[in-house]
Chains A and B, each alone.
Chain A
């Protein structure tokens, strides 16, 4: 239980842990170019299916699309340090192209690498865009401060004058309501509760809650704990930092690598003690599973990637969740479910519908395979707001067409967008499981 009893902070306390990056098995490469993207570029035969799957290209004719951003640009800019085209910043990192590619081109890895290079080498570090992106990318840090005085922060951030100032000074669109901070974070609750209620040497998970369910929606994190405990799991909540998703999307790879260093260090120790890693956010699980090993060389990173799961996915693998739901029922409700792009990439886009469609009291409808358009921090940028809302239009429309007036999704920022576009309340599947089983 020692892990659960660690200090509440999610920031690294031991500075040496931050720099656990001396292990570099490909040190023969000069400079920072540790990732070999040659086979990736070779794999592309230019069929352009990725371009047709790209939600940004669909609404923005000036965006050249994933094929250009990935294999084409990579091949053209060899070598001579050619510049990365600035359109890379219009990629929302939804990663649908990865899923669309029939030929195994690591598109998002190529995009992440190109974006990192662009931000490092070409972006003005004093520009408003850089400062704003850095703040957005490090939402976890911002949230840690804000949630110390949640009511005050909510009051200030909800003020329309502040929102105007944010737009003018930082380029954060005033149309968006800043997500409210919970009066008690999940980790505070966890410690107040005294940690786990179940001990079990055979079934144990290490929970990667991420930032949002800690600071903003602790009810999701609490639901996870209660649901997993109801299935007899021992839960630990180790020290952790942001998964890195918003950092990748903003090309802040150094920030992401520092955070990954902490996370991989903490979680790989737990793997040895028999824990699996479980996340309640599909972008967090995606990050640990795919982006970590694609972008960083850290000791234990492959093991962490191979043993990370999304919560529902994990339960569906190991437990008879459907059987458990057969005898359960919830208050009558109709839900409009949206599968996040990152869930789709992990093959999880149908899990909530499959699980809940037979649950007594529930009418759940899938609102289709479009992207919500917010893509994490993307829709939080003034210059991307319109694109973000255009992409989301299809989802909004289908939500309105659906019977239910409550949305459901696994992804925190998709839920912000769903709420923003429809005014519906949005639920996480774990919350419904909690209602049914706990």
Chain B
């Protein structure tokens, strides 16, 4: 395997994967390294809003214009990742009329289709909006699945010759003669087609140009190269509701503030968010009050949220950046725009650029600009086609519905599968041989889809989860974590499957901890009991290496009686006080017939 490529991209989030795809499509030999699995960082921890640009229409019109432009591109190239829900900016009585007008004007100035709705019209669309709302602006917001988007970009990059290495953490940036020449990575445990190294092994990867697309982690990579990248990571909490209280993106129409958006996402709604600067993008407090704030504040817009079931909460870290001379005090004042830092120009260190700031909706545009920059540096003359070429899964999406009956799936399961798989539905479901039971009931994921994800992601079940949504529904994996692990056999051995199961279970628990009240507490307890007691997963001898003393078990109620008569005890029947032995015996015999 070649240790050398023309471009090395660090970071398997939307930006990094987008850059890898763009460069690979231009024919550039590119390698992407990621320390976890794809979307391990910020991409995997966002609320899934496909911006119309409306949120920036007052404060940051340049971003707003980019958003509406890319919104249209993504609807075209990533249709299987996007649900065009539409969005509303809702004004409450205490929200200023002036801001509402500014928002409307701003949208129109930026070319964002915007329409004013009366309170009655808005409530016709979304009946759960508060009764006392004033009015709303309708914009083309949508929901986007960042996991599928990222994976589709990576898959297409590989299709075009790129190499993608997950579970490969950059431990050093190699600088020779004052120039960045590559990185050193350390491989971690993992498997699948994006993993080639062995756990614990380090490897030096050389490249003509290195792109630091690590977002909130860009400062850490910069430090390894001896340059300062002053990223200001800012955390935000997101709370996931069990069902969709709204089917449209609901924004509060007021200047920046916490807890002002509800995004319907697949089977759920995601409430967001806060904006608070943190020191370390991987170590920051996750606090209960932040979750309470989401629910309390957003209940002003959608009162039913107050009683609705929460299934988990998670935090993400924005990779905010601003040129040091701006010096914003409040992270909410920092621009959402992105910056390309050419370290040659800026720090006199050739061979590397860092990309910071930005947002998911404009990931493709960012990738295009960076790829242009890289191509210019490398003297490559090639056009960008990422805005025209659909991502794998989004080609001819419209023809899907006609085949759905063929797969023998129950209607909502087939429909959900097709929505996730897009144009790959036929390949994944149609070519599956053998029984195809539903593995994850909450999110309607079948064995065929799980196996397709395992083929792509390897044994890591968290990566399978991101590709399929399995274990992301209301039971949070209570009924499917172990079934997913089961699908790893026989390709992977028992210890790999067990580790993958534990990792997935722990990852789920991390978010469930923030929803332990009401129905979700019952759910968590049931999950715990199923796994800890019924499956004995907390004391499994196979895991603890203890020997099982089989002689400690008794031989059952029939205690060594000859076989043949044994089933009698299984067939106890409740037949209304008839205790006569003959009758009971006959009943038992009949029941077997």
Task: Scan residues 29-85 of chain A and give those whose CB is less than 8 A from a CB of chain B.
Answer: 29-30, 38-39, 41-47, 64, 67-68, 72-73, 75-80, 82-85
Contacts of B307 in A (CB 8 A): 39
* 6 extra interface residue pairs, beta carbon distance < 8 Å, beyond A30-B124, A39-B307: A42-B308, A44-B474, A368-B573, A401-B583, A401-B587, A402-B576
Q: Decide yes or no whether A86 CB sits under 8 A from chain B.
A: yes
Q: Please list the 9 inter-chain residue pairs (A to B) with the smallest Cβ-Cβ separation, ordered nearest first.
A: A42-B309, A76-B412, A365-B576, A45-B523, A398-B575, A366-B576, A83-B411, A85-B410, A85-B411
Contacts of A264 in B (CB 8 A): none
Task: Assess whether B519 is in contact with A79, with CB atoms less than 8 Å apart.
Answer: no
Task: Assess whether A365 is in contact with B578, with CB atoms less than 8 Å apart.
Answer: yes
Task: Assess whether B576 is in contact with A398, with CB atoms less than 8 Å apart.
Answer: yes
Q: Decide yes or no whether A103 CB sits under 8 A from chain B.
A: yes
Q: Decide yes or no whether B562 CB sits under 8 A from chain A.
A: no
Task: Assess whether B522 is in contact with A103, with CB atoms less than 8 Å apart.
Answer: yes
Distance between Cα atoms of A82 and B526 in the complex (Å): 30
Task: Assess whether A46 is in contact with B244, with CB atoms less than 8 Å apart.
Answer: no
Contacts of A76 in B (CB 8 A): 267, 412-413, 415-416, 443-444
Task: Assess whether A45 is in contact with B410, with CB atoms less than 8 Å apart.
Answer: no
Task: Assess whether A29 is in contact with B416, with CB atoms less than 8 Å apart.
Answer: no
Distance between Cα atoms of A84 and B585 in the complex (Å): 44
Supply 24 A–B pairs (Cβ within 8 Å), ascending by A: A39-B308, A42-B308, A45-B475, A46-B441, A46-B475, A46-B478, A46-B479, A67-B441, A68-B410, A68-B441, A72-B441, A75-B267, A76-B413, A77-B411, A78-B247, A82-B412, A83-B412, A85-B412, A103-B522, A337-B576, A397-B575, A397-B587, A397-B590, A398-B576
Contacts of B443 in A (CB 8 A): 76
Task: Assess whether A38 is in contact with B308, with CB atoms less than 8 Å apart.
Answer: yes
Q: Decide yes or no whether A369 CB sits under 8 A from chain B.
A: yes
- Please report B residues at the A interface, Cβ cutoff 8 Å: 123-125, 127, 242-245, 247, 267, 304, 307-309, 410-413, 415-416, 441-444, 473-475, 478-479, 519-520, 522-523, 526, 573-578, 583, 586-587, 590-591
B124 to chain A, nearest CB (A): 6
Specify which of B243, B479, B578 is in contact with A401 (CB 8 Å cutoff): B578
A317 to chain B, nearest CB (A): 25
A152 to chain B, nearest CB (A): 41
Contacts of A73 in B (CB 8 A): 412
Q: Decide yes or no whether A28 CB sits under 8 A from chain B.
A: yes
Task: Assess whether B243 is in contact with A365, with CB atoms less than 8 Å apart.
Answer: no
Q: Decide yes or no whether A367 CB sits under 8 A from chain B.
A: yes
Contacts of A43 in B (CB 8 A): 309, 519
Distance between Cα atoms of A67 and B441 in the complex (Å): 10
Contacts of A365 in B (CB 8 A): 576-578
Q: Decide yes or no whether A87 CB sits under 8 A from chain B.
A: yes
Contacts of B442 in A (CB 8 A): 46, 72, 75
Contacts of B574 in A (CB 8 A): 368-369, 398
Distance between Cα atoms of A397 and B578 in the complex (Å): 12
Total interface residues on A, CB under 8 Å, equals: 43
Distance between Cα atoms of A201 and B243 in the complex (Å): 51
Task: Assess whether B243 is in contact with A82, with CB atoms less than 8 Å apart.
Answer: no
Contacts of A85 in B (CB 8 A): 410-412
Task: Assess whether B411 is in contact with A86, with CB atoms less than 8 Å apart.
Answer: yes
Task: Assess whether B576 is in contact with A368, with CB atoms less than 8 Å apart.
Answer: yes
Task: Assess whether A45 is in contact with B474, with CB atoms less than 8 Å apart.
Answer: yes
A379 to chain B, nearest CB (A): 21
Task: Assess whether B575 is in contact with A402, with CB atoms less than 8 Å apart.
Answer: yes
Distance between Cα atoms of A398 and B245 in the complex (Å): 48
Contacts of B479 in A (CB 8 A): 46
- Please report A residues at the B interface, Cβ cutoff 8 Å: 26, 28-30, 38-39, 41-47, 64, 67-68, 72-73, 75-80, 82-87, 103, 336-337, 365-369, 394, 397-398, 401-402
Task: Assess whether A77 is in contact with B243, with CB atoms less than 8 Å apart.
Answer: no
Task: Assess whether B523 is in contact with A83, with CB atoms less than 8 Å apart.
Answer: no
A364 to chain B, nearest CB (A): 9
Contacts of A82 in B (CB 8 A): 411-412, 415
Contacts of A103 in B (CB 8 A): 519, 522
**Main secondary structure on chain B at its contact with chain A?**
loop
Task: Assess whether A78 is in contact with B243, with CB atoms less than 8 Å apart.
Answer: yes
Say yes or no: A75-B243 contact (C-beta < 8 A), given A29-B127, A45-B526, A85-B410.
yes
Q: Which residue of A lies closest to B522 (CB)?
A: A45
Contacts of B577 in A (CB 8 A): 365-366
Task: Assess whether B441 is in contact with A84, with CB atoms less than 8 Å apart.
Answer: no
Contacts of B586 in A (CB 8 A): 401
Q: Which residue of A lies closest to B444 (CB)?
A: A76
Task: Assess whether B244 is in contact with A78, with CB atoms less than 8 Å apart.
Answer: yes
Contacts of B267 in A (CB 8 A): 75-76, 78
Distance between Cα atoms of A337 and B578 in the complex (Å): 13
Contacts of B124 in A (CB 8 A): 28, 30
Interface centre among A45, A64, A82, A402 (most CB of B within 10 A): A45
Distance between Cα atoms of A367 and B576 in the complex (Å): 5
A227 to chain B, nearest CB (A): 25
Task: Assess whether A398 is in contact with B573, with CB atoms less than 8 Å apart.
Answer: yes
Contacts of A78 in B (CB 8 A): 243-244, 247, 267
Contacts of B411 in A (CB 8 A): 77, 82-86
Contacts of B520 in A (CB 8 A): 45
Contacts of B245 in A (CB 8 A): 38
Distance between Cα atoms of A29 and B126 in the complex (Å): 8
Q: Which residue of B lies closest to A73 (CB)?
A: B412
Distance between Cα atoms of A46 and B574 in the complex (Å): 27
Task: Assess whether A46 is in contact with B578, with CB atoms less than 8 Å apart.
Answer: no
Contacts of A42 in B (CB 8 A): 242-243, 308-309, 519
Distance between Cα atoms of A332 and B526 in the complex (Å): 51
Distance between Cα atoms of A337 and B308 in the complex (Å): 43
Contacts of A84 in B (CB 8 A): 411-412
Specify which of B244, B413, B578, B591 is in contact with A79 (CB 8 Å cutoff): B244
B133 to chain A, nearest CB (A): 12
Distance between Cα atoms of A337 and B304 in the complex (Å): 46
Contacts of B473 in A (CB 8 A): 75
Distance between Cα atoms of A348 and B133 in the complex (Å): 47
Contacts of A72 in B (CB 8 A): 412, 441-442
Interface centre among A43, A67, A78, A369 (most CB of B within 10 A): A78
Q: Which residue of B lies closest to A336 (CB)?
A: B576
Contacts of A30 in B (CB 8 A): 124-125, 127
Contacts of B243 in A (CB 8 A): 38, 41-42, 75, 78
Q: Which residue of A lies closest to B124 (CB)?
A: A30
Distance between Cα atoms of A397 and B444 in the complex (Å): 39
Distance between Cα atoms of A219 and B139 in the complex (Å): 67
Q: Which residue of B lies closest to A403 (CB)?
A: B578
Task: Assess whether B410 is in contact with A47, with CB atoms less than 8 Å apart.
Answer: no
Contacts of A402 in B (CB 8 A): 575-576, 578
Task: Assess whether B415 is in contact with A77, with CB atoms less than 8 Å apart.
Answer: yes
Task: Assess whether B576 is in contact with A46, with CB atoms less than 8 Å apart.
Answer: no
B398 to chain A, nearest CB (A): 14
Q: Which residue of A lies closest to B307 (CB)?
A: A39
B138 to chain A, nearest CB (A): 15
Q: Which residue of B lies closest to A47 (CB)?
A: B526
Distance between Cα atoms of A83 and B412 in the complex (Å): 7
Contacts of A86 in B (CB 8 A): 411
Interface centre among A46, A83, A85 (most CB of B within 10 A): A46
Q: Which residue of B lies closest to A337 (CB)?
A: B576
Distance between Cα atoms of A267 and B532 in the complex (Å): 54
Q: Which residue of B lies closest to A105 (CB)?
A: B519
Q: Which residue of A lies closest to B584 (CB)?
A: A401
Contacts of B127 in A (CB 8 A): 26, 28-30
